[in-house]
Amino acid sequence: MAESRKKSESILLKFQGNTVKLELFDSTLWDHPDAGAGLVRVRQGSITSGRWVQSAPGETGAIFFDREGLAGIVAAALLEHSSLFDVESGKPDLRKGQPVRVWPNPHSRKVSFGCSKTYALSDPIRCFDGQWRIMVGGKHGFVSCDLVQGLDKFGREVQP
């Protein structure tokens, strides 16, 4: 059955091949003890159908949401449908203890000639800027995985 109440706002999230629509309704349209000014009720679904959101992530039983609750619903939809936040996507095929070759950083002010062989001291870590970095031995410390070439136990390059 179609909703007869008038929606206040709509949020449309488009992903590759997927669309999520969030419709916001003023909570004062319901005769409910939890309804009040500054709260909304959210219906989530596709363009043609939807279901009422019963609770925000981490909450139970809430049917009306304030700004923080609405932000949690939008964030949960982004995490569920977007591949941008997939932590393991694009993870380099490197591992702790593996022999590696480290190439000089082209953006560094230090003058260095050639590459150096060392060992990976950690697994790849995705940093807050989205780049994969790895701790390597020697004087290098944490370096971008783009500058690291994995080697097998005989010192030959590992092909991805």
Residue 39 burial by CB count (10 A; 0-12/13-18/19+): exposed, middle or buried?
buried
Residue listed under structure tokens 């080697």: 151
Task: Report pLDDT digits (tens) over 118-136.
Answer: 999 999 988 767 788 899 9
- For residues 107-118, average pLDDT: 72
pLDDT at 47: 55
- Does the pTM surpass 0.75? The reply is no
- Residues 10 and 24 sit within 8 Å (Cβ to Cβ): yes
Task: Report pLDDT digits (tens) over 57-73.
Answer: 555 566 888 888 888 88
Tokens read off for 111:
């003058």
Distance CA 116, CA 152 (A): 15
